Chain A
């Protein structure tokens, strides 16, 4: 029997301690042990990006990272984007630009985009494409996700301008 390991990590600003088998993947820790089910499992071999989370601000695949590797890590998941329930500007942009259909891939996209816009507040088209290339969406095609990233950049730079630029009617 292989001994379990004690680890501690910070997720969305909350510190957690856990005792895990070495083989437990980070995504299974987040979802099954910590109850943070917004991070999704799509391919379990690092290809689809549904499980993308941020570690110290950098987007990584949590399905091909062991929980023990994340000992001491500072992690952000989709639950950390809108802690008060108010959508983050990137989330608002995805909704306004129809950057999602089924929404299963969306948490991964949001975190990849969060890293991109932190590094490049005004990203080039090529930088956006390079980032989005790491996440697979099977519903929308990527044009509206691309538009959502541009919209999110505008919103983050100037929240008022971002809202104006979308041109989508509000209900009610």
Chain B
């Protein structure tokens, strides 16, 4: 279980990273924390010619609050989000889901954006992104674009990211007031990939009537699945 040969680049700016990806189109792969990519490399299931490591680019490891949203840079570790106290009030569903993401030892290294871009259908964060209407900021040769979570995940391990694009940031809007939420999954062992899981929110209006209800299932299809909004009885 040793990786096949690949080349490695550690650019110091996003522009440089995009240039490297574009110059090696189809052969290159972005490396962030590597917690999903490295097992695939070790098993020789992934065979990139070039790994472009984002870790040496300054200023990508932020987790911050912006206008009530939790905003997370490409190299922010999952553990950094876990320790970002405002997340528990702004987006408690997101905060609560993290303890299901592998183990602390993986979250110390794994990034939030990396997990989203990897798009494992059994992963937790893509489901939460879909539930909370996260927005993805993608940078590429043609500049920057924003993608809504509902448009981001295409199929197994595949997103709308082009091979020379990088997920630079994800923005989780604050959960609306009077929103209840739940997150649960079934795994063989806590921290294992979920066999199936669910992420859900219910938002009430001032009168107590249900204004919005969401159920996102993961581990049961090629991407997280948001069945049509439950209809009112």
B interface with A by C-beta (< 8 Å): 1-8, 10, 31, 34-35, 38-39, 41-43, 51, 53, 55, 79, 99, 102-106, 108-109, 189-191
Q: Note all chain A residues with C-beta closer than 8 A to B43.
A: 45
Asked if A61 contacts B105 (CB within 8 A), the reply is yes
Asked if B105 contacts A64 (CB within 8 A), the reply is no
Asked if B108 contacts A58 (CB within 8 A), the reply is yes
Other A-B pairs beyond A23-B6, A45-B43, A133-B191, 11, CB < 8 Å: A5-B8, A22-B7, A25-B3, A45-B1, A59-B104, A60-B105, A61-B109, A65-B38, A66-B31, A66-B51, A69-B53
Candidates A2, A22, A25, A131; contact of B104 at CB < 8 Å? A131
Between A and B, 9 residue pairs with Cβ closer than 8 Å are: A22-B5, A44-B42, A58-B79, A64-B39, A66-B31, A68-B53, A69-B55, A130-B99, A133-B191
Closest B residue, CB atoms, query A111: B105
Q: Note all chain A residues with C-beta closer than 8 A to B51.
A: 22, 66
Instruction: State the majority secondary structure of interface residues on A.
Output: mixed
A-B CB contacts (within 8 Å), total count: 93
Check: A75 CB closer than 8 A to any chain B CB: no
Candidates B1, B6, B42, B105; contact of A22 at CB < 8 Å? B6
Candidates A2, A65, A130; contact of B109 at CB < 8 Å? A65
A68–B39 Cα distance when bound, in Å, is: 16
Residues of A within 8 Å of B, CB-based: how many? 32
Closest B residue, CB atoms, query A131: B104
A5–B43 Cα distance when bound, in Å, is: 23
**Shortest distance from the beta carbon of B44 to any chain A beta carbon, whole Å:** 10
A2–B55 Cα distance when bound, in Å, is: 21
* A63 with B8, Cβ < 8 A, contacts A44-B1, A58-B108, A130-B104 known: no
**Shortest distance from the beta carbon of B141 to any chain A beta carbon, whole Å:** 24
Q: Note all chain B residues with C-beta closer than 8 A to A66.
A: 8, 31, 34, 38, 51
The interface bits of chain A over 147-162 (1 if a CB of B lies within 8 angstroms of the residue's CB, else 0) are 0000000000000000
* A68 with B10, Cβ < 8 A, contacts A58-B108, A59-B108 known: yes
Asked if B5 contacts A49 (CB within 8 A), the reply is no
Q: Note all chain B residues with C-beta closer than 8 A to A3.
A: 7
The interface bits of chain A over 59-87 (1 if a CB of B lies within 8 angstroms of the residue's CB, else 0) are 11101111011010000000000000000
Q: Note all chain A residues with C-beta closer than 8 A to B31.
A: 66, 69
Closest B residue, CB atoms, query A108: B105
A52–B106 Cα distance when bound, in Å, is: 10
Q: Note all chain A residues with C-beta closer than 8 A to B189.
A: 133
Check: A17 CB closer than 8 A to any chain B CB: no
Q: Please indicate which of the listed interface residues B79, B106, B191 has the most CB atoms of chain A within 10 Å of its own CB.
A: B106
Check: A107 CB closer than 8 A to any chain B CB: no
A131–B105 Cα distance when bound, in Å, is: 8
**Shortest distance from the beta carbon of A24 to any chain B beta carbon, whole Å:** 9
Closest A residue, CB atoms, query B2: A23
Asked if B39 contacts A46 (CB within 8 A), the reply is yes
Q: Note all chain B residues with C-beta closer than 8 A to A130.
A: 99, 103-104
Asked if B34 contacts A64 (CB within 8 A), the reply is yes
Candidates B7, B8, B39, B105; contact of A45 at CB < 8 Å? B39
